[in-house]
Structure 1
Amino acid sequence: MRKPPAYQIARKALTVWRVYGMIQTIVLLLIGLVMAVLTKMFDWSPWLHIIWFGLPILSAIFSVYLFPKLRWERWRYEVREQEIEVQHGLFVVKRTLIPMVRVQHVDISQGPILKRYDLANISISTAATIHEIPALITDEADELRQRISLLARVAEEDV
């Protein structure tokens, strides 16, 4: 079996994914509070309170602590002359090879949280799908976008 891709995404991705997890947990907590009030108003089973407050607690444990760490440890990528290899997954690790001749265009995206941490996502479009390399340092993402674009052009000329 081939070696895993050489490069890992920025360590700041952990912080960004944890912020996303906290936002998700806060939303679940607010929904839980509304449901707890409804449970009290309509005299539903008191066991429902465990569900309304248990879900945000589980969300905090998994989406703030456990899942970002697992995602970050497994995310790898490597850009070669003929292909781009991407490895990702939480429990099932998926490795994808993207031939350079299939690359149509490369985009960089950056939302407000990524921008705060000076990170950007790269989207690599082929005819069939869009592949993403998340949470790269913005300067590195820019250089990588240029490199992929250049290699894709060269691969297209060789065909």
Structure 2
Amino acid sequence: MRRGEMLSIQQMLKEPERVIELKRYHYLCYTLLCYIPVLLLHYFIIRFNWSEWLLLFYILPVISALFMLFAPEIRYRHTAFYIHPVMIETMRGLYNHKRTVTPIDRIQDVIISQGPIASKLGLAKVTVKSSGDEIALPYVTAEEAERLARLIIERVKEVTHYV
């Protein structure tokens, strides 16, 4: 890693397919939750003969299913983070770019978390809490998450050592 270079999450992961698969599971859950109101509306449409609304309520689940298939990969490709000696920088977004910079000397806590699906896929998320802000780094392998957490803690110790 060269100094000042922004690394994408693809360069940091050896298996990006697992992250995309995890995001697909997340979107699948959201899509299934969206189907419940659609099924209720379908019942009311048939029960009360609202046939003019029928097409609309069948198109919405198809659009959400297409979103579930393509959104994780697009979101994954437009996410990056960089751990500089004095700051942590994250960038997200395709159209609305969000760039977050947190100074190392403001960091108070580093948390590694895994959900049930992420642990099955061997992924973990590193969350950095600072005074007034919280940055969640993208999902990485569990070993990489441990390495990143140690790196951040070492950088915090270096900065506080000088103070």
Q: TM-score, normalised by structure 1?
A: 0.89
Structure-1 residue corresponding to 2:7? 6
Instruction: State the distance in 1 between where 2:124 and 2:94 align.
Output: 21
2:83 partner letter: V
Aligned length: 155
Superimposed CA distance per residue, residues 7-52 of structure 1 (whole angstroms, 9 cap, x where no aligned partner): 41541211111111122222222321121011111233x1322232
Runs of 4 or more consecutive aligned structure 1 residues displaced over 6 Å after TM superposition: none
Alignment identity in percent?
A: 24
Equivalent residues of 1:5, 1:86 under 8 A apart: no
Q: What's the secondary structure of 1:92's corresponding residue? A: coil
1:88 lines up with 2:92 in the alignment: yes
Structure 1, unaligned stretches of length 5 or more? none
Superimposed CA distance per residue, residues 93-142 of structure 1 (whole angstroms, 9 cap, x where no aligned partner): 22222110011111011111111110011111011111101211001001
Equivalent residues of 1:119, 1:138 under 8 A apart: yes
Superimposed CA distance per residue, residues 64-105 of structure 1 (whole angstroms, 9 cap, x where no aligned partner): 21x212211111111121111111113212222211001111
1:51 lines up with 2:56 in the alignment: yes
2:65 to 60, 66, 69: 60
1:34 partner letter: L
Instruction: State the distance in 1 between where 2:91 and 2:36 align.
Output: 35
Q: TM-score, normalised by structure 2?
A: 0.87
Structure 2, unaligned stretches of length 5 or more? none
RMSD after superposition: 1.6
Instruction: State the distance in 1 between where 2:42 and 2:32 align.
Output: 15
How do residues 91-110 of structure 1 correspond to structure 2 at under 5 angstroms? 91-110=95-114
